[in-house]
Structure 1
Amino acid sequence: MGNNRYLLYGSVRYALGILRPLQDAARARGDEVAWFFDGREDEGPNELTADERRLVTVEQVRQWNPTAVFTSSNALPHFFPGVKVQTFHGFDAGKPRHIYIRPFFDLYCTTGPQDTRAFEALARRHGFFRVIETGWPKLDPFMTQLPDTLPPVRQPPVILYHSTFSPSWSAARTLHDEVRRLSRDGRWRWIVTLHPKTDPEVVAMYRALENEHLRFADDDNILDLFGQVDMMCSDTSSALSEFLLTGKPVVTFRNRRPGPQLIDIDDAADFEPAIERALSRPPELMAAIRAFADAIHPYRDGRSSERTLEAVDRFIAEGGVASLKRRPLDPWRKFKLRRRLRYWGPA
């Protein structure tokens, strides 16, 4: 190896947590890495470290000529050189528009069998991209820290409350009063974190709940909190799938895709008994969690980034873009990308 250049393309801050493990793996192979952000300075660029290279113009990217461009976003500039690789920004939590394609990508690196089956079916139908299952690079540091066996529930137990931002999917307003009530008596400890795009009014509501039994967490990487808690409460956030990889239970409120791996409720009055059941860890629930985790991300070795880079090597060795059908034009989305980056030159 050692002769490749990889561009990591982001639009928001969480791209750092998803793509930095890829940077580590590429550097370990002796390859070069650079970053490109198309958003605000406070959405990632200002958090790059002194040893992380940043390209700031399209001309710089084209001159640098990357072997591949990796992104967790839903699109990337078609006029960037290199293999265009989608690494995803979360698991399928039942929200719309997870299992879908846009004509920007040559290679989808899927996280596990569940997504692989869905995207391979689309690849066979359309023919302008490949699918290779690799695992999710974001989880590499997390997976290496998971204990071999599930630790016992703490005394007092610690609960992570996390909600997505969309009002139609979020339970933050509905469950606020229950979280306030249950965090007052000291029976359980609480850590609360909300999606970065959450309505500031809702954020203020939960910040106001802080007391000796409840902490509001500003951690950018929610994975850092998983080892500190015994269970999670959520709604239709994709973070709950990440949490289930720990083997610990999740209580959800009106989840869009409930299943045996979740304790799902549709009435706030059921919140407390659902938490009690989760903390009791019933065997049938724990077995369902393990089966679900194996379906979405069976890799526990912390080497998904290496597999992703190897997937690009394999894709190129087997013919690369030349082996694919021509991508659909999609002129409107391409125009919007050109306008966003103020680039009107050749593709």
Structure 2
Amino acid sequence: MNKYLFYISQDYSFAILRPLQEILVARGDEVKWFFEGNKVTKSYLTKNEILIDTVVDIFKYQPDVVVAPANSIPSFLPGLKVAVFHGFDAGKLDNRGNNDHFKIRGCFDLYCTQGPSTTSKFKELQQKHKFFNVIETGWPTLDKLFKTVDDTNKNKQPTIFLGSTFSKRLTQAMYIFPQVKELCETMDWKWIVSLHPKSDPNVIEMYRSIENKNLSYVATDDLLPILQEADIMVGDTSSSLTMFIVQNKPAVTVKNIDAKPYLLNIADANDLKSALEKALSYPDELMQKISDYNEETHPYRDGDSSKRVIKAIDDVLAGKYPLIKSKPFNLLKNLKFRKRLSYWRL
């Protein structure tokens, strides 16, 4: 039996890690949770899920494995540190123009990648740094998406999911608000709106204010049921777009920073209606581009990515992939984590 710690800081992490938890508990492993910061809703824990309140208690627990859907975690924590990602590569760049999805911060021992397009880049970084392993597994978040297909809403009212990034620089939720408001009043389309939990509360309230028989706002820690229900997604530059597209469904984007051929991207909000009408026609050329993209991004449709993640962890724990170097000491980063967590013990 191994002891696992799920280290999270946002509500969306529940949907990412629970597929792993289900398998681990069923096979007799122990799982506990730790919330960094105050942005995780404690009431989302189920009665069978155990929360560790302090870093001191983490050391008492002595996990064999720490799993995090994050860019970084404290490297001084006990156990094998495993990254399973909080989303797909959306092409977002940091202040220096580097893709944040592939930034190595010296925190993890193992990266479980989602598909060939991310695996190849992380493999290059593995060869460069030599202190972590990279194993392609697929993303556990999507297991339920492929295991529980629901066609009950097909051939009914066309359903559109509107999601948006929280980045003030990239979000277009406010920009397209007038057009969405008009379309939900004039077109026989069903809208489901669920913005990133870090989004501007004023923008969230704007969408809540126009709820009617055709538009509903949903605050949730699990987008998968919405992704399954919707026929089309409207977004900007958000990793949830990929979560939607892997179902082989079209997405309309607004001012996407890296508008690829598999997206129906528009620069003018007034083109939203025509873009949606095109998406709802499922044109052959677009659907082929979506299929090609999915093969590179997340080719796994079996709903068994969680099993592959756990096998990868088991193999690393068993010494199957010995590392050449140790992780860097990361003095400054760990000092920042210690201050954030109010933990100063050695």
CA distance in 1 between partners of 2:325 and 2:124 (Å): 16
Question: How far does residue 304 in structure 1 lie from its aligned partner after superposition?
Answer: 1.1
CA distance in 2 between partners of 1:60 and 1:67 (Å): 14
Structure 2 unaligned blocks of 5 or more:
94-99
- 1:46 matched to which residue of 2? 43
Question: How far does residue 44 in structure 1 lie from its aligned partner after superposition?
Answer: 3.6
1:280 match: secondary structure: coil
Q: Is the 8 A contact 1:160 1:190 kept in 2?
A: yes
Q: Is the 8 A contact 1:140 1:304 kept in 2?
A: yes
- 1:248 matched to which residue of 2? 249
RMSD across aligned C-alpha pairs, in angstroms? 1.8
- 2:96 matched to which residue of 1? none
Question: How far does residue 153 in structure 1 lie from its aligned partner after superposition?
Answer: 6.0
CA distance in 2 between partners of 1:69 and 1:152 (Å): 39
- 2:173 matched to which residue of 1? 172
Question: How far does residue 316 in structure 1 lie from its aligned partner after superposition?
Answer: 2.3
Partner residue of 2:86 out of 85, 89, 99: 89
CA distance in 1 between partners of 2:283 and 2:154 (Å): 13
1:33-182 equivalence runs, <5 A: 33-40=31-38, 43-96=40-93, 97-146=100-149, 154-182=155-183
CA distance in 2 between partners of 1:251 and 1:153 (Å): 20
- 1:7 matched to which residue of 2? 5
- 1:311 matched to which residue of 2? 312
CA distance in 1 between partners of 2:211 and 2:43 (Å): 29
Q: Is the 8 A contact 1:6 1:34 kept in 2?
A: yes
Q: Is the 8 A contact 2:153 2:229 kept in 1?
A: no
Q: Is the 8 A contact 1:69 1:83 kept in 2?
A: yes
Question: How far does residue 250 in structure 1 lie from its aligned partner after superposition?
Answer: 0.3
2:147 match: secondary structure: helix
| Greater mean deviation of Cα atoms: 183-192 or 225-234 | 183-192
Question: How far does residue 151 in structure 1 lie from its aligned partner after superposition?
Answer: 9.2
CA distance in 2 between partners of 1:310 and 1:263 (Å): 37
Question: How far does residue 269 in structure 1 lie from its aligned partner after superposition?
Answer: 2.1
| Greater mean deviation of Cα atoms: 23-32 or 324-333 | 324-333
Paired AA for residue 20 in structure 2:
L
Inter-CA distance 50–155: structure 2 relative to 1 (3 Å threshold)? closer
- 2:336 matched to which residue of 1? 336
Q: Is the 8 A contact 2:106 2:328 kept in 1?
A: yes
Paired AA for residue 78 in structure 2:
P
Q: Is the 8 A contact 2:25 2:31 kept in 1?
A: yes
Q: Identity over the aligned pairs, expressed in percent? A: 43
